[in-house]
Structure 1
Amino acid sequence: MIEPFFIFKKLHSIEDMECYTGYLPEIAPVKIYESKKVRGRSGRLNMTYGDYDAYEYPIEIQLANFDRLQEVKRWLTGSGKLVLSTDMSKYRDVIVTNSSKPIEFENEDGFFWKFQVTFQSEPFRRYVSENKIALEPNKEKIIHNSGDEIARPLIRVVSRGGNITVDCNDETFTLLNTPTGLIEIDSENGLVIAEGARIKNKGNRPLLATGHNRIKVSGNISEADIVRRCVFL
């Protein structure tokens, strides 16, 4: 049986920091609801925009090397990517908050330290490594979103100039009067950029529903690719 471990800021809890953990729980985010009492209606009206809330992820730790306490204190601060041994293919974006309380280190007879660290995690897990998928210019391709929710992809296009359209399922997104060169369509941040400058556009930015999606990039382009950015609960 594999000893439970985690990786934070690219450091392995056991191999690099001599920190041992017990059971690592699996925690899922909670969808945000607005609950309202409507006059003339029994009960409450619950509404959601599909957003998920951040959540806390606590880990009980035993530091085996008594003399490395200060080093571990410095490590377990700030923000970074958290990877758990229960699923090494995905990471969480986290920040150490410890529920806004100081971390209490318990001295075990001068041999090791016991303590708990609490991370605040963004709602979704993401692939540690996700390869780009080539898109053939002016031809439709099926892209599979293997995640649990809508994915907001990064699409890169090498333009020869003029308008470019991205048809994704039943939506069309148009880039207007593009310059020659590499253009990035960042659906997560709502940006279309070429060499640091924003490109005018119209329509709804491309989004990938769970399962299969039809996508086609059209215009005077030499190549294109997509990074799906799948997300998991």
Structure 2
Amino acid sequence: MFMDADTPNFIFKGINAVMDMDCIIETELPEISPNKRYEEITVLGRSGSLHETFDDYEPYNLEVESITVPYDRLREVKQWLRGRGQLITHNDYNTYRDVICMMDSPTEFENEWGYFYTFDLTFRCQPFKRKVNEQSLSFATSLVFHDPGDETAKPYLELKPTGGNVKLTINSTALTITNSSTEVIKVDCEHGKIIQGSKTLFSKGEWPLVRPGENKLITTGVSSGTILRRSVYL
């Protein structure tokens, strides 16, 4: 993956717009932060209003304007720029966004090199960015670790249990997994799933979260494990 920080460019679904598709992007790509979602509450007999939030964020559109592509690459580009995938932009190439691509109708124009097409793109983005190629952290039964993100993250863990009940605690939030064997347990806090082999395991407690800054992980009933923080950025 190569991108010049000074040249407008993006990578979508692992394909580099400039290097792989011969695109020329004439305008700078914007840097956008998501808005926190608030509900406005009006109380009869009280001036003004109240605002309530559950600390969740709204999706947003990222516009890429004035993209030029050679005539003979248009069909290939149209097939590429569709659907859902990961987006990396030149001005923040260490993180990616989960997006859906919406391609506007191309318009033909002629210049001194021959025939080209120009078009605009809209990427519908999920609120958070994630680190490209984030590495898992290994631990025995406990771990103190730092999360570099901007907001609370929902981690993914793989645990090697000793059999029976497993207790997983991150900071003050604990989750107990019941009736495990000695096969690896996969704990996906983002999607609320605990898998061991082909079985779904039962649990009680709350899904652990990783907060920006220092975190402490403690386990019982486990001989070793790994955690993918899934750090999130605004």
Equivalent residues of 2:81, 2:102 under 8 A apart: no
Q: Percent identity?
A: 38
Contact 1:62 1:112 in 2 (8 A): no
Report whether the alignment pairs 1:45 with 2:46.
no
Q: Give TM-score, length-normalised by structure 2.
A: 0.92
- 1:152 matched to 2:186? The reply is no
Partner of 2:167: 165
1:14 partner letter: V
1:17 aligns with 2:21: yes
How does the TM-score come out when normalised to structure 1?
0.92
SS in 2 for 1:14: helix
CA distance in 2, matches of 1:62, 1:185: 42
Deviation, 1:97, is 3.0
Runs of 4+ in 1 over 4 A off after TM superposition: none
Q: Secondary structure of the equivalent of 1:181? A: coil
SS in 2 for 1:69: helix
For the residues of structure 1 that align with 2:173 and 2:77, how far apart are their CA atoms?
A: 49
- How many corresponding residue pairs? 226
1:5 aligns to what? 9
Aligned 1:52-201 pairs, distance under 5 A:
52-97=57-102, 103-109=104-110, 110-137=114-141, 140-201=142-203
Where does the alignment leave 5 or more consecutive residues of structure 2 unmatched? none
Q: d(CA) in 2 for partners of 1:206 and 1:183?
A: 15
Alignment partners' CA distance in 1, 2:231 and 2:51: 27
Deviates more, 1:177-186 or 1:56-65: 56-65
Residue aligned with 1:111, SS: strand
The CA deviation string for residues 168-218 of structure 1, in whole angstroms up to 9 with x for no partner, is 112221111211110011110111110121111111111011111111111
Alpha-carbon distance in 1 for matches of 2:74, 2:19: 15
Q: CA deviation at 1:79?
A: 1.0
